[in-house]
Structure 1
């Protein structure tokens, strides 16, 4: 059963109409609505897209997940930054991306989240990688990473490193001159071979590998 998509509309002058239009292009069957309306409608397995212009958005995300822990929340920001992204994840969100993201990217975010992964922007990915490297360098008791990159093909390794740098599937496809479908296939193989679940885990593991290189 496919997840239902709900977009929480903020009552604010800064709420851009194009944001809703792009979201509806990505999810034609999705339902935009205001917080009080959607709060009564969301059920297990649903995906709720919450803009940061919503008053007390962090408290509302946490409250929603407490009452409906099996739904998935993606936070939308008009000016994404690292601190806000971490706050979104701390509130329980499974994704954090730009409010004006293209429909294709929104669909990509939904796919990653629906498979149990996390989606964050490239800046936050880089911050996670840098923080992990610093932690490993400071810790004399750090354990050597167990993953073996030699199990990956040359192309899979290229895709893994590009994704770890924060690139979207489309950007990876353009860089490597392959299709997005091929990127998804390679990325799925990478996750399976390395025993990983999502991009964030891939970033952290590659950071560990580099710290021992």
Structure 2
């Protein structure tokens, strides 16, 4: 199976975790799109759900496919969020944010009873850090915030290459109006401590480390979908 076929298989498997009448968080990205399409097809058969999107792109796709949409303002507690991940490890720790929606994805996921991650087998790693860690920062004082991020890394004896994310030659702007600094670290031995240090930096809105949020990972493989469930 190709990586995309593995993603699609995981997305279809995730439908088992959605019940009629559920309030569902919809992730962002190519893997999440497979789930949105599968859920919309099931909904066309009379399966009633209401959804909250984590990005404009996901909202537009879901709405175009006929899914009923709501917001966290109207529905602050969700039953389940289904989303992809850029990396996950054996402790259900994630790196997310490759699509630039990490802040809203984290808000939606933590507003849910549980989060189901869908992924292809290339996303499973022994230790987080191979994928650049997105850090969402306010536009004011980006260079100062970058310096503080570097200082936080040095506290943990880590070296990270920071790159301001661009789109069409201009700084990438998230749906929330912020910038993203992608930090290539290579290996993060203590994601929880890095999580805490980054959150303490003025100017950092949030980051792509998802700690103690995900409870189930569905990973597509050549031999079918494997389930990793947190006890």
User: TM-score per shorter chain, which class?
Assistant: 0.3 to 0.5
Greater relative contact order, per chain length (Cα 8 Å cut-off, separation 6+): 2
Q: Write 1 or 2 for the structure with the bigger share of helix.
A: 1
